[in-house]
Amino acid sequence: MVLNNQKKFLSPEDIDVLAEIVERYGLGPTEFFGNPEVERMLSEAKTPEERIKIIKNLPFIKIMSKLEEILSGKGSLEDLSSFLKENLNLPLLTAEKIAKEIKERIFLTASKEKEEISEKPTTPPRKDIYREPIE
Amino acid sequence: MNKISKKFNKIFAFSLLFLSFPALAMAQCAWWDLGCWLGWLVTLIFRIPIFFFALGGVFLGVVALIMGLIVVPPIVNTLILLGLNDAIYSPFSTTWGLVRNFALSLVRIFLLIVGLMTIFRVREYEARRTLVSFLIGILLISFSFSIVTQIIRWGNVFTNYVGQTFFGVGGGGEYLPNVGNIYRGLLNALLNHFGKIWNIFTIDGDLGKFFTRNLFIIILISISYWIFAFLSIYVSFVLIALGIVFLIRVGYLVCLLIVSPIAFLTFGLRTKEVRQIFGGFLNWEGWWPKFLEWVFIGIVLMIWLGVAVKIFDALTAQVAGKTLNVDCSKALSGQDASIVAQCNEEVSLIANQMLSFIPAIAAAIAIHIGVTTAPGMIKQAVQGIIGAVTLLATAVIAAATAALTAGASAAASATAAGASRLGAAGAFLRAGVTEGGRVFTGSLAKGLPQLKEMPEEFKPGVEMVGGITRRIPWARRPLRALIYEREDAEKEVERTYKEKGAKGVEEIVKSPIASPVLKSEGVRKLLKENKLSDELIESEDFQRFLRTKEGSKYQKDVLKLRVDLAPQFINPQTNRPFRPEDIIKEMTPADVIKIRPRALIVPEVVSAMNPEQADTIIRRGSVSQKEALAKGYAEMLRREANVVVDTTTPERLRNSMVQSFPAIQSTIDRLRESPHPEDVNRAETIRRVGNRILDRRLSWY
């Protein structure tokens, strides 16, 4: 697997991918304002600090923080499945599936870019100006 | 084009023939000196136009000086007296009464609406607070005439007090310094100097001397008349502009007095609806600053007038009895004594007249500064008048420069051919007439149609200058005032962009003398290259240009970059200032991505954006755009939700937003329930951008 070493932080498109994965596996909310579930959770908090804690503990934010750690070199991508299993209480199989998907769709963009470049049209073959087309 | 050219050539040829015979008597040649006669006849081609040019200067000078002496001072005094007269406003009480009745009837209608809305519980207006506003509004409307006229009276009294007490100006209805003596002296000097005009014909006919020295001298003679004219025109224009400002002040104050009941109505009822109905001067926010500006503008002008009078008195005493003696011998070393003497005489005359005119010019400059501090359109009008005078002066001086260049080229050709006075008369004729005439008449005929916006008298000179601009690099900058063809403007802009880059083009746009077409091309180029700087957009001169006919073509394109400046421009469709949403709703994603961070930091801009446009910045914007968007959003939250968030880092912003989550959420809910679509859009923008901040899509690293 070739990792994209240029990447230092998550782009909005990476976060789109992550939000889609979190939603598909039913890991919790990915939107905050206008979301009744988040509203209810935060209304139960007694202090502003408690609200920060609740948001930080949402699976979506937890995974994102972990991915940022990995990108900044403080964590390893290999530990992602064990992190998901321990912190989100997921079965090992699901955690590995999610980790694999994250690796492929967020961290392996360099190989994808290569593909995109290769898809560009190549130079058309030169016309033989001495030969008239047969109609 | 051809018609004008042919007509001009006919007049020129006729003048040449008509003046040749009597002028022959003025040629200082012995009867047997054929070379002298031939040379004199050849140089007539230069002498005649210069003679007419000088004659025009004499005529303009005499008219301008007589106007300055007799007409200008009493007119200006009368205008200032009129402007500071309180009695002017009383007759307008009837018209004011009509507007007052209209404003009071509006109050009744609003009261009815509030009553019905409250009864049927359509909308809560907090009846007690609203009634107090209505009461204040009614009182202010009813007494607006007395309030406004009293403030104007205070303004007038204070203006006269400042003038009389501090500067001794305005006592006995005399506001201007005694410029009569100066004008009279100048008029006498001009009439005495008129005799020198014949030197144009009597000066030596020797071809060699003519093209190297004498042409310079006769041009100097003709320019000296124009200098008299322009100095007095400048002083007269500035003084008249001062009077006109006082006159326009009356016009403005009368209008503001008449509409004052509506302005006071909007002051009492500060609701969004009322502000929407009455925009511009009718609204308190537009009316009050404009009113104060015009009431007290007199004080500012009086201070400058006082300063001008003091400068005038001091300098008059300083220059009295002084004369300047100019010595041309160093500059013309090794030349005939007669040429040096002629040069001394002409240059001394100009220098001494300048000296006697210094007090008036210095005083005029002080008034010029004062007048250009006048608000809005007056400033523009005055600058326009003075700009036109400057342009004319430039054209005259440039025309003279061109004539000199033509002469010099001819002389150079002749020298190169090694022509002697007689032996090579034929060669000299070809060289001199071909080269000089080519610049003088050839380009004249070619370029006439390009000078649509120049006064007729100056077209020949200006066109000649256009012909030589490519050969004289230092002449390019001042001659930018003369570029009126779009194709030429485009070439000049491209050339500048290649040589000096965007900064060079910005200089063209900022230049006070560049023609509107040239400026317009400059703006187009900067927009195309996306290099229009914020400093340029924010400058007052550039914004003034955007309000002109030529500049308005780019108004929307510039406002798309700086949406925050939209309210400073009038929307031609509604005749009211643009709102940020008027500009933003027309923007494509490609436009959105170009919005400047300085615009995004403004909450009105963020609140006018739709959620998709905010998303475009979040996904495709630069780091500084994202940071500005976050800051603009934070300010929007402070206004809408009364929530203060920390924007120093993305993390702090996230935490402070989570801390204030309930307040922000309740604001979103409240705005969503509003019947106004803008409020619903705002709710969605707050929600979408808020989510993008919390989910870290909106971060700036």
* pLDDT digits 0-9 by tens, B130-169: 777 788 888 889 999 999 999 999 988 888 888 888 877 7
Strands B570-571, B576-577: parallel, antiparallel or unpaired by DSSP? Answer: antiparallel
CB pairs under 8 A between A and B: 55
B68: its two tokens: 């300055």
Burial B507-530 (b: 16+ CB within 10 A, else e): bbbbbeebbbbbbbbbbbbbbeee
| Extended beta strands in B461-604, E state | 570-571, 576-577
**pLDDT for the residue numbered B45:** 81
Using a CB–CB cutoff of 8 Å, tell me whether B658 touches chain A. Answer: yes
Determine the residue among B617, B637, B657, B658 to mutate to test chain A binding: the one whose Cβ has the most chain A Cβ atoms within 10 Å.
B658
Q: Do B696 and A51 touch (CB under 8 A)?
A: no
CA distance A36 to B435: 89
What residue has token string 């900064």?
B503
The answer to whether ipTM exceeds 0.95 is: no
Question: Cα Rg for chain B, rounded, in angstroms?
Answer: 34
Using a CB–CB cutoff of 8 Å, tell me whether A77 touches chain B. Answer: no
Within-domain flag for B340: yes
Domain count, chain B: 2
Q: Do A31 and B695 touch (CB under 8 A)?
A: yes
* B364 contacts B239 by C-beta, under 8 angstroms: yes
How many helices (H) does chain B have, and how many strands (E)? Answer: 33, 2
Ordered mean pLDDT values, 10 residues apiece, chain B (701 residues): 61 61 60 73 81 86 82 84 87 92 87 79 62 82 92 89 78 69 72 74 69 74 78 80 86 92 81 68 82 84 82 78 75 69 71 72 80 60 55 50 42 35 35 37 36 42 47 54 75 88 88 83 91 91 86 91 91 84 89 93 92 91 93 92 90 91 91 88 92 91 71
Classify burial at B19, counting beta carbons within 10 Å of its beta carbon; exposed 0-12, middle 13-18, buried 19 or more. middle
Q: Which residue of A has its CA nearest to B616?
A: A12
**pLDDT for the residue numbered B2:** 55
Boundary-marking domain end, from B356, B374, B392 = B374
B407 CB-near residues (< 8 Å, 6+ apart): B46, B210, B211, B215, B216, B436
CA distance B598 to B615: 18
* B650 contacts B693 by C-beta, under 8 angstroms: yes
CA distance B492 to B488: 6
A28 CB-near residues (< 8 Å, 6+ apart): A22, A58, A59, A60
CA distance B8 to B18: 15
CA distance B484 to B378: 25
Q: Which residue of A has its CA nearest to B617?
A: A12
Measured between CA atoms, how close is B454 to chain A, in angstroms? 55
A133: its two tokens: 């087309």
* Cβ neighbours, 10 Å, residue A78: 10
Q: Which residue of B has its CA nearest to A33?
A: B687
What residue has token string 């609203």?
B130
Within-domain flag for B142: yes
Within-domain flag for B557: no
B445: its two tokens: 């005929």
Using a CB–CB cutoff of 8 Å, tell me whether A58 touches chain B. Answer: no
Which chain A residues contact residue B694 at CB under 8 A?
A: 32-33, 55
* B402 contacts B412 by C-beta, under 8 angstroms: no
Boundary-marking domain end, from B339, B374, B409 = B374
Q: Do B696 and A64 touch (CB under 8 A)?
A: yes
The DSSP secondary-structure symbol of B333 reads T
**pLDDT for the residue numbered B341:** 74
Q: Do B658 and A60 touch (CB under 8 A)?
A: no
* B552 contacts B546 by C-beta, under 8 angstroms: yes
Torsion of CA B264, B269, B270, B274, to 10 degrees: -90
The angle that helices A59-71 and A80-88 make with each other, rounded to 10 degrees, is 150
Which chain A residues contact residue B658 at CB under 8 A?
A: 42, 48, 51-52, 55
State which residues form the domain around B632: 590-701
Torsion of CA B640, B644, B647, B651, to 10 degrees: -110
Within-domain flag for B656: yes
**pLDDT for the residue numbered B390:** 53
Using a CB–CB cutoff of 8 Å, tell me whether A52 touches chain B. Answer: yes
* B651 contacts B659 by C-beta, under 8 angstroms: no
Within-domain flag for B609: yes
Which chain B residues contact residue A63 at CB under 8 A?
A: none
> Distance between alpha carbon B207 and the CA centroid of its chain, in Å?
46
**pLDDT for the residue numbered B220:** 75
The DSSP secondary-structure symbol of B171 reads G
Using a CB–CB cutoff of 8 Å, tell me whether A43 touches chain B. Answer: yes
Cα distances (angstroms) measured from residue A90 to each of A20, A30, A62, B78, B195: 17, 18, 14, 93, 110
Q: Do A15 and B695 touch (CB under 8 A)?
A: yes
Q: Do A51 and B659 touch (CB under 8 A)?
A: yes
> Distance between alpha carbon B377 and the CA centroid of its chain, in Å?
10
Backbone angles phi, psi at B453, to 5 degrees: -100, 10
**Among B356, B358, B357, B330, residue whose Cα is nearest residue B343:** B330
> For the residues A36-51, what does the mean pLDDT come to?
88
**pLDDT for the residue numbered B392:** 54
* Cβ neighbours, 10 Å, residue B220: 19
What residue has token string 């009071």?
B104
Within-domain flag for B664: yes
CA distance B695 to A8: 17
Task: Label residue B136 left, alpha or beta by phi (over 0 means left) and psi (-120 to 50 means alpha).
Answer: alpha
CA distance B68 to B347: 24
Within-domain flag for B661: yes
The DSSP secondary-structure symbol of B578 reads P
Within-domain flag for B422: no
Using a CB–CB cutoff of 8 Å, tell me whether A12 touches chain B. Answer: yes
Which residue type does A112 have?
K
Boundary-marking domain end, from B329, B353, B374 = B374
Residues in a beta bridge with B571: B576
Backbone angles phi, psi at B27, to 5 degrees: -70, 130
Q: Do B699 and A9 touch (CB under 8 A)?
A: yes
